[in-house]
Amino acid sequence: GGTSVQFERLKAEGVTFLDSLHVDMSVCGIVMENHPLEPFLPSNAKFLFLGSFPPPKVRWSMDFFYPNWINDFWRIQGLIHYADAHHFEMDGKHFDRERIIEFCNSKGLAFYDTASKVCRLKGNASDEFLAVLAPSDVYGMLSKLPDCHAIVTTGGKSSEELAGILSATVIPKVGSFVDFPEFRWWRMPSTSRAYPMSLKDKAAQYSKLFR
């Protein structure tokens, strides 16, 4: 019967439309999000860290990358560089954004994610329920970082997505790298506490980047 008949049938089933062509996906529990942060690209960056996508803002403890209080990325950096997992913590609830940015500028660390637009199939931070709608422009970011010759993916989802962006046939094993003509791709363990590795062992893996 064509689109008009399908439209009426879907309405009869209770589907909510924004207009005659577009469904209100949020009513169905499906939320599409553009990346809430701009890439952090200091001109002296030597590493470009790529996660998958930030968690929902309700989980943020600061307005920067890896903002989830129970994500251990900044504790790992604290262990590696200051022998103190709590170095970047403020009050037991928030990371110190200003101290982190100063640290990233001094060490030459750039940040973004492998996805610039996603659909959360469930309202949580799990990569398992993250559908990527638009990949990030990784080569465009690298073009702004003349001293950056290493990409670091921080988990399985980001590694899978980067492989697609690069048309790579091989994904590095955790704690190892693959060389490309323009850069080295390191794969590090996820900094989520759901990943089955101790904080000390994760720090040992990430410390390979700075040797």
HEC secondary structure over the chain: CHHHHHHHHHHHCCCCECCCCCECHHHHCCEEEECCCCCECCCCCCEEEEECCCCCHHHECCCCCCCECCECHHHHHHHHHHCCCCCCECCCCCECHHHHHHHHHHHCEEEEECEEEEEECCCCCCHHHEEEEEECCHHHHHCCCCCCCEEEEECHHHHHHHHHHHCCCCCCCCCEEEECCCCEEEEECCCECCCCCCHHHHHHHHHHHHC
| pLDDT value at residue 125 | 65
pLDDT at 158 over 90: yes
Higher pLDDT, 206 or 21: 206
Higher pLDDT, 205 or 19: 205
| pLDDT value at residue 32 | 84
- The terminus-to-terminus CA distance of the chain in angstroms comes to 66
| β-pair type (176-179, 130-135) | unpaired
Contacts of 16 (CB under 8 A, 6+ apart): 23, 24, 27, 28
- pLDDT tens digits for 177-208? 999 999 999 999 999 999 999 999 999 999 99
pLDDT at 124 over 70: no
pLDDT at 15 over 90: no
Query: Picking from 5-19, 59-73, 91-105, which range would have the lowest pLDDT averaged per residue?
Result: 5-19
Stretch 18-39: mean pLDDT, rounded? 82
pLDDT at 30 over 80: no
| pLDDT value at residue 122 | 74
| pLDDT value at residue 25 | 73
Token pair of 178 as six digits? 């693959």
pLDDT at 121 over 90: no
* Whole-number Å distance between alpha carbons of 99 and 119: 32
| pLDDT value at residue 163 | 96
Question: Do 165 and 189 touch, CB atoms closer than 8 A?
Answer: no
| pLDDT value at residue 103 | 98
pLDDT at 4 over 90: no
| pLDDT value at residue 129 | 81
User: Which amino acid makes up residue 190?
Assistant: S
pTM: 0.86
| pLDDT value at residue 167 | 94
pLDDT at 49 over 80: yes
178, containing H or E segment: strand 176-179
Give the mean pLDDT of the chain. Answer: 93
Stretch 135-150: mean pLDDT, rounded? 96
* Whole-number Å distance between alpha carbons of 181 and 87: 36
pLDDT at 127 over 90: no
